[in-house]
Amino acid sequence: MPIVYKRDNKNVDFNIVLDILKKAFNGRSFDSVDLIEKAFLNSLKVVYAYDDNKLIGFARAIGDSTWASIYNVALLPSYQGKGIGKAIIRDLVEQLGKRHIFTFTHPKTVSLYERMGFRRTKMAYKYVGINIDEVSKWQEERGFLLPFGYKFENEYNKKVSFHEKKNVEKVEGNINIRYSSNLSDASFEEINDLLSDAFNEKRDIEKTKEDFLASQNFELAFHNDKLVGIARLVTDGVREALLLNVATLTSYQGHGIALEIINRLAKQVEGFDIFLHAHPGSYSFYNSKDVFRRYRTAFALEPNNFPSEIEEAFFLPEGYRFSNEFYDEEMKYFKGKIYD
């Protein structure tokens, strides 16, 4: 019988889901069955693969109407190498539509995502500012992460913007910032104006409202009741978190507000794996902080309409490989061009 793909959690046995995760990710620890079930139920989109009513693989994604990140792409080892994993990812991508889609993968499956049109990105970061958990240790051992402060050759060293930035007078001196995790402390008009200023582009307030209401955790910064900084998290309520809209008013940048916001958000979800895909213009900020590490196996599925300089700043060359990338023991060669 052909493999059947289903897009809902109906009648899923999460004991089997946990068993498949353990077999597919040999050596990695996982949460309890109850937490695994909660994570899948809280996901934005899911897909399950069945062979004659036997669950053999799955994947899920968290996100909002603009952004999404893929997790738990898993397949029973006996079904690998038959195009089923690719079909699972393709089904999930189809469900996610025009969203900006991110993922990070095991070094063994880098070429799989390349063949599916994903672009290897250099702008993906992991927040590691709180306790290093077992998942982080597993990622470290298997080459998911780059060293602190890692800089790619020909790194983009100036701010990338779609618009010319106006000169803004900076707020100087010591300022007293009040922080809040309550989204209702600011209006959506204030939030939208802040994002428009920080990212130097006009934002659609209805889109902003929709995406913020799809988020679970927030941190806001105020100076004399003026909203000057913000960030949010989209999570599965268990383990995975997508950090979005880290923004500080241009006139207030340089006061450590963004880092404080991120650290406060991380404390709200301590133990979560926090993923961030940053703008190339902000790489020096994330590289200079000892709470972020770049992913070396991250991918993005983005629109193909970037200006060339933006595309070069976001993505690595096609077939990019590190010198210590996964080595194919059978074929005896690195699957891609070695760059360092």
Over residues 239-277, the pLDDT tens digits come to 999 999 999 999 999 999 999 999 999 999 998 999 999
Does the residue 278 lie in any domain? no
Does the residue 114 lie in any domain? no
Q: Which residues does residue 49 pair with via DSSP β-bridges, in sequence order?
A: 5, 57
Does the residue 171 lie in any domain? no
Does the residue 138 lie in any domain? no
The per-residue b/e assignment along 309-323, b for 16 or more CB within 10 angstroms, e otherwise, is ebeebbbbeeebbbe
The H or E element spanning position 268 is helix 257-268
pLDDT at 201 (0 to 100): 87
For 128-191, strand residue ranges (E) read 178-180
Q: Which residues does residue 333 pair with via DSSP β-bridges, in sequence order?
A: 328
Does the residue 118 lie in any domain? no
* Cα distance between residue 318 and residue 323, in whole Å: 15
Task: Report the SS3 class of residue 41.
Answer: helix
Does the residue 25 lie in any domain? yes
Other CB atoms within 10 Å distance of the CB of residue 154: 8
Does the residue 222 lie in any domain? no
30-34, 205-209, 281-285, range with the lowest pLDDT: 281-285
Confidence of residue 333 (pLDDT cuts 50, 70, 90): very low
Structure tokens at 99: 């969203």
Q: Which residues does residue 279 pair with via DSSP β-bridges, in sequence order?
A: none
pLDDT at 159 (0 to 100): 52
62-71, 93-102, 128-137, 265-274, range with the lowest pLDDT: 128-137
In the predicted model, is pLDDT for residue 337 greater than 60? no
Report the predicted TM-score, pTM, of the whole model to 2 decimal places: 0.90
Task: Report the SS3 class of residue 42.
Answer: coil
**How many structural domains does the chain have?**
1
Among 296, 279, 316, which residue's Cα sits nearest to residue 100?
Answer: 279
Other CB atoms within 10 Å distance of the CB of residue 144: 20
Domain of residue 57: give its range. Answer: 1-98
Could you report the per-residue pLDDT of 149-198, keeping only the tens digit for each?
998 876 755 555 555 556 778 888 889 999 999 999 999 999 999 999 99
Mean pLDDT of the 12-33 span: 91
First to last CA, the chain: 46
CB-CB contact of 252 with 78 (8 Å): no
In the predicted model, is pLDDT for residue 330 greater than 60? no
pLDDT at 305 (0 to 100): 60
Does the residue 207 lie in any domain? no
Q: Which residues does residue 300 pair with via DSSP β-bridges, in sequence order?
A: 102, 119
Structure tokens at 162: 């779609």
Could you report the per-residue pLDDT of 136-157, keeping only the tens digit for each?
777 887 788 888 899 887 675 5
What's the CATH number where 47 sits? 3.40.630.30
Long-range contacts of 271-274 (CB under 8 A, 24+ apart): 271/130, 271/131, 271/133, 271/239, 272/235, 272/238, 272/239, 272/240, 272/241, 273/126, 273/133, 273/135, 273/136, 273/239, 273/240, 273/241, 274/126, 274/127, 274/233, 274/241, 274/242, 274/243
